């Protein structure tokens, strides 16, 4: 990898570095606190004690080993689908079709990993996972390559095309799962042939969270390094920041756009593959649980920074885990978690106004 | 538990478990218990989830029973963690997992980890030797109620065209379409049912489009099998045609056109399963029932239902309740001209062959996609 110095895109007069660093942290933390405060007002307005609600959120999402594992397990797929939005965003694209790439990733993994696993001795089953994971990444990447090509060659708006193509992907997924790829034994829940239970991806040592969490974290780290430390990443950011200028200096903007899309699609495809190989065992309608959609929220809240995707995904996982306890303990409706998510989202976007200019 | 259900269970081959003895009898008849109930959609969906929540509300009124509920839990790790959280954080010892998709792998996986907790799943097919002993499946034979609704619809229809908005062409759905159609055609064999598959359980826009399209084709009674029949029934009412409900009662949504509906009465199995759990009785792994056992019921007749239709509906319900009438028996043709059930074959409601249904009967206009 060709390491280039991290050149600031804008060399105007700026405040001292320490203050920048502080604001870089203060703003997101302050935004989250402001969002939580607004949520406290909301629950008070509907007749609940905010302190009890916050204590319940802490207990449900973060206050015990069980709660943390609950949170992390729910966060695992969101890291990868968040990355699926964050990577194309580096090239200035708003691609929101991760659910479609996830669907194809899940299909590809089930088609590839299941027959391979049945041929392998138990100790070599990880080879089937590798094949399934690569197949999922390839399928998701290929699907997103189309979005990139449409954008680069024809100027088609990638937000619209990715959203609409996502519906096509889901329809194809359902057609294949309920038709040609259906396991005849899956009567009332049409599914592809399942991985045997002993061939499923297991949990991380000492945890009850599958390996998808670690893969997601590694993917984010790699993405962050490539984006902020490599020439490729630098070119990508230039192309995203000002495509015309990038073209003038001779950067292959079209290729960069397609590659950024492929990387995003591969990330969502991997999420689908892991859902099949670690959770469901087969591809079926339950796999499409909206992780791709939540990934959009995650990436925007993380300001499309791959490293920030990790804590934001964990926050979302924690909110989901906490929402579960809020329902059971306080009889709050499920929509409460949507309100909390929404308020945090708005608060974080509004917090942008307080960021130093070149960090926006 | 009445003797007839015993015999029903025996027919299903599950008596070995049900009548297993040797577990200590409960000391306190009213031992307190915490029950967790999990829904895949909103509790107030006028449909599948509401029917489950109504039963949970009845459990809440039982002394010593504490109910914790969670709605909109997807069929992913989320439901695994919800079940575990109910056990760890709420001390639940009986879990009702009410969505079909919860069963494999989610319920099976968590049940193995918590062998002392009872997991009762709605709709699954618990199999001895294959599934954990602390897992049970309960379900209702609602095709009987669909048949009765079909009889009423058959009497009320003037155009002789009925409509059915269906989610997915799975056996459970096909069985309802067929039973509804056969009920209507028992009144008048010239009646046909047009079916439209929307492709998924909750597709409100497509459900409205399908209903409108059916009405444009001349259908004057519509029913459905989707998670929330609200949109179908409301659209029918707005367009001035009649409707039959499903899952729960949608009468409030269609005061003019609502005829009747096939409803679940999950409080029957819920109460039985809670009593078994709190009194430490043997695990009930396989529990099924229909009109007779009170697992399903009919919505009260709507205002517009004629006296003749009521009489015919009541008669059909009575003979199905008595058990001397079998819906699926040969010779039965499918809608492609082939034989669905050969002459002389009678498939009782409990027959597992019916849980593999893959055809639409004569009189249904439409085909099974893919």
Residue A230, domain extent: 79-306
Give residue-wise pLDDT tens across range B80-116: 999 999 999 999 999 999 999 999 999 999 999 999 9
Rounded Cα gap, residues A296 and A304, in angstroms: 10
Are A328 and B68 inside 8 Å of each other by CB? yes
Gap from A276 CA to chain B (nearest CA, Å): 10
Are B100 and A188 inside 8 Å of each other by CB? yes
Q: What does DSSP say about strands B94-97 and B118-122: parallel, antiparallel, or unpaired?
A: parallel
Q: What does DSSP say about strands B221-225 and B339-341: parallel, antiparallel, or unpaired?
A: unpaired
The predicted structure's pLDDT at residue A359: 54
Structural domains in chain B, CATH included, are 3-141+265-289 (3.40.50.2300), 143-263+296-324 (3.40.50.2300)
CB-based contact (8 Å) between A327 and chain B?
yes
Rounded Cα gap, residues A174 and A169, in angstroms: 9
pLDDT at residue B331 tops 60: yes
Please provide the average confidence, as pLDDT, over all residues in chain B: 91
Characterize A211-241 residue by residue with b for buried, 16 or more Cβ atoms within 10 angstroms of its Cβ, and e for exposed.
Answer: bbbebbbebbeebbebbebeeebbbbbbbbe
Q: Is residue A354 part of a domain?
A: no
CB-based contact (8 Å) between A199 and chain B?
no
Gap from A73 CA to chain B (nearest CA, Å): 7
Q: How confident is the model at residue B286 (pLDDT cuts 50, 70, 90)?
A: very high
Are A285 and B200 inside 8 Å of each other by CB? yes
What's the DSSP call for residue A277?
I
Q: How confident is the model at residue A107 (pLDDT cuts 50, 70, 90)?
A: very high
CB-based contact (8 Å) between A286 and chain B?
yes
- Best mutation target among B86, B104, B121, B225 (most A Cβ atoms within 10 Å) is B104
Are B168 and A328 inside 8 Å of each other by CB? no
Are B70 and A327 inside 8 Å of each other by CB? yes
Q: Is residue A120 part of a domain?
A: yes
CB-based contact (8 Å) between A183 and chain B?
no
β-sheet with B296-298: strand ranges across: B296-298, B258-264, B242-247, B221-225, B161-166, B192-197, B364-365
Q: Which residues of A touch B111 (CB under 8 A)?
A: none
Annotate A34-73 with DSSP letters as a single string. Answer: HHHHHHHHHHHHTT--HHHHHHHHHHHHTSSHHHHHHHHH
Q: How confident is the model at residue A360 (pLDDT cuts 50, 70, 90)?
A: low
Give residue-wise pLDDT tens across range A247-305: 999 999 999 999 999 999 999 999 999 999 999 999 999 999 999 999 999 999 998 99
Q: Is residue A246 part of a domain?
A: yes
The predicted structure's pLDDT at residue B14: 40
CB-based contact (8 Å) between A324 and chain B?
yes
Rounded Cα gap, residues A79 and A299, in angstroms: 9
The number of distinct structural domains making up chain A is 1
- Residue of B86, B105, B168 lying closest to A328 (CB–CB): B86
ipTM of the complex: 0.89
Are A189 and B101 inside 8 Å of each other by CB? yes
Q: Which residues of B touch A275 (CB under 8 A)?
A: 76
* Residue A103 Cα to chain centre, angstroms: 14
Rounded Cα gap, residues A231 and B280, in angstroms: 68
The predicted structure's pLDDT at residue B357: 95
- Best mutation target among A194, A290, A324, A333 (most B Cβ atoms within 10 Å) is A324
pLDDT at residue A51 tops 90: yes
CB-based contact (8 Å) between A321 and chain B?
yes
| HSE-CB for A158 with a 13 A CA cutoff | 28
Are A320 and B78 inside 8 Å of each other by CB? yes
The predicted structure's pLDDT at residue B370: 60
Q: Is residue A209 part of a domain?
A: yes
Tokens, residue B7:
């015999």
Q: Are A139 and A107 in contact (CB under 8 A)?
A: yes
Q: Is residue A83 part of a domain?
A: yes
Which residues are CB-contacts of A173 (< 8 A; sequence separation ≥ 6)?
Answer: A103, A104, A106, A107, A283, A288
* Residue B118 Cα to chain centre, angstroms: 22
Gap from A278 CA to chain B (nearest CA, Å): 10
Q: Scanning the structure block, which residue is given the tokens 């919860």?
A: B102
Instruction: State percent of chain A over pLDDT 70.
Output: 92
Q: Is residue A20 part of a domain?
A: no
> A348: helix, coil or strand?
helix
The predicted structure's pLDDT at residue B218: 97
Rounded Cα gap, residues A95 and A83, in angstroms: 11
Q: Is residue A253 part of a domain?
A: yes
Gap from A74 CA to chain B (nearest CA, Å): 7
Q: How many helices (H) and strands (E) does chain A have?
A: 13, 0
Tokens, residue B70:
């969670």
Give residue-wise pLDDT tens across range B211-229: 999 999 999 999 999 999 9
Please provide the average confidence, as pLDDT, over all residues in chain A: 91
What's the DSSP call for residue B256?
T
Q: Which residue has the higher pLDDT, A188 or B252?
A: B252
The predicted structure's pLDDT at residue B352: 85
Peptide bond into B342 cis (omega under 30): no
Rounded Cα gap, residues A53 and A255, in angstroms: 49
CB-based contact (8 Å) between A224 and chain B?
no
pLDDT at residue A322 tops 80: yes
Model confidence, pTM: 0.88
Q: Which residues of B touch A281 (CB under 8 A)?
A: 104-105
Q: Is residue A32 part of a domain?
A: no
Q: Are A287 and A103 in contact (CB under 8 A)?
A: yes
Give the mean pLDDT of A31-58.
94
Paired with B194 in beta bridges are: B163, B365
- Residue of A178, A279, A325 lying closest to B370 (CB–CB): A178
Rounded Cα gap, residues B335 and B313, in angstroms: 25
Paired with B161 in beta bridges are: B192
Residue of A46, A73, A70, A96 whose CA lies nearest to A292: A96
What value, to the nearest 5°, has the Cα angle with vertex A168 and ends A210 and A215? 20
The predicted structure's pLDDT at residue A8: 46
Give the mean pLDDT of B119-136.
93
């Amino acid at each position: 990898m060709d390491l280039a110095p991290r050149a600031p895109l804008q060399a105007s007069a700026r405040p001292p570095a320490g203050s920048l660093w502080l604001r870089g942290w203060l703003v997101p933390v302050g935004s989250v606190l402001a969002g939580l405060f607004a949520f406290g007002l909301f629950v008070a307005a509907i007749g609940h004690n905010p302190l009890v609600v916050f204590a319940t959120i802490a207990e449900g999402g973060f206050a015990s080993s069980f709660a943390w594992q609950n949170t992390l397990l729910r966060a695992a797929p969101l890291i990868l689908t968040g990355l699926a939005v964050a990577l194309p965003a580096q090239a200035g694209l708003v691609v929101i079709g991760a659910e479609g790439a996830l669907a194809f990733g899940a299909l590809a993994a089930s088609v590839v990993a299941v027959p391979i696993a049945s041929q392998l001795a138990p100790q070599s089953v990880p080879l089937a996972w590798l094949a399934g994971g690569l197949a999922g990444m390839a399928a998701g990447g290929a699907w997103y390559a189309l979005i990139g090509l449409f954008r680069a060659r024809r100027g088609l708006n990638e937000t619209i095309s990715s959203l609409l193509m996502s519906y096509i992907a889901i329809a194809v997924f359902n057609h294949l799962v309920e038709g040609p790829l259906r396991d005849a034994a899956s009567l009332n829940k049409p599914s592809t042939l399942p991985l045997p239970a002993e061939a499923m991806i297991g949990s991380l040592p000492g945890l009850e969270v599958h390996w998808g969490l670690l893969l997601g974290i590694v993917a984010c780290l790699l993405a962050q390094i490539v984006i902020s430390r490599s020439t490729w990443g630098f070119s990508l950011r230039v192309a995203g920041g000002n495509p015309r200028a990038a073209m003038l200096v001779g950067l292959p903007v079209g290729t960069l756009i397609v590659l950024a899309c492929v990387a995003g699609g591969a990330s969502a495809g991997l999420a689908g593959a892991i859902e099949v190989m670690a959770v469901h065992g087969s591809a079926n309608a339950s796999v499409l649980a909206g992780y791709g959609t939540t990934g959009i929220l995650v990436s925007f809240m993380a300001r499309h920074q791959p490293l920030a995707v990790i804590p934001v995904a964990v926050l979302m996982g924690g909110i989901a885990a906490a929402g579960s306890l809020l329902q059971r303990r306080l009889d709050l409706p499920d929509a409460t978690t949507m309100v909390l998510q929404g308020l945090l989202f708005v608060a974080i976007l509004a917090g942008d106004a307080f960021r130093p200019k070149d960090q926006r | 538990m009445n003797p007839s259900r015993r015999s029903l269970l025996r027919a299903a081959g599950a008596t070995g478990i049900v009548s297993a003895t040797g577990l200590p009898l409960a000391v306190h008849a009213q031992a307190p218990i915490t029950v967790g109930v999990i829904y895949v959609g909103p509790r107030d969906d006028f449909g599948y989830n509401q029917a489950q929540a109504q039963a949970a509300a009845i459990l809440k009124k039982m002394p010593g029973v504490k109910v914790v509920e969670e709605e909109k839990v997807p069929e992913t790790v989320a439901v695994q963690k919800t079940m575990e959280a109910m056990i760890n954080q709420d001390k639940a010892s009986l879990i009702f997992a009410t969505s079909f998709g919860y069963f494999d792998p989610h319920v099976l996986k968590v049940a193995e980890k918590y062998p002392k907790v009872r997991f009762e799943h709605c709709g699954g097919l618990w199999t001895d030797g294959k599934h954990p002993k602390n897992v049970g499946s309960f379900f209702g034979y609602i095709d009987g109620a669909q048949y009765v609704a079909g009889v009423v619809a058959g009497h009320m229809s003037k155009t002789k065209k009925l409509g059915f908005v269906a989610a997915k062409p799975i056996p459970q759905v096909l069985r309802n379409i067929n039973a509804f159609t056969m009920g209507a055609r028992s009144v008048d064999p010239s009646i046909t049912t047009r079916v439209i598959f929307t492709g998924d359980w909750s597709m409100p826009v497509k459900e409205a489009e399908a209903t409108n399209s059916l009405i444009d084709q001349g259908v004057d009674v519509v029913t459905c099998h989707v998670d929330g029949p609200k949109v179908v029934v409301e659209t029918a009412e707005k367009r001035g045609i009649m409707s039959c409900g499903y899952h729960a009662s949608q009468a409030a949504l269609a005061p003019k056109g609502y005829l009747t509906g096939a409803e679940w009465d999950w409080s029957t199995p819920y109460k039985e399963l809670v009593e078994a759990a709190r009194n430490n009785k043997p695990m009930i792994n396989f529990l099924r029932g229909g009109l007779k056992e009170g697992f399903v019921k009919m919505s009260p007749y709507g205002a517009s239902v004629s006296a003749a239709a009521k009489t015919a509906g009541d008669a059909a319900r009575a003979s199905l309740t008595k058990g001397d009438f079998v819906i699926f028996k040969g010779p039965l043709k499918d809608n492609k001209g082939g034989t669905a059930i050969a002459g002389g074959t009678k498939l009782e409601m409990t027959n597992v062959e019916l849980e593999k249904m893959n055809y639409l009967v004569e009189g249904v206009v439409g085909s099974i996609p893919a």
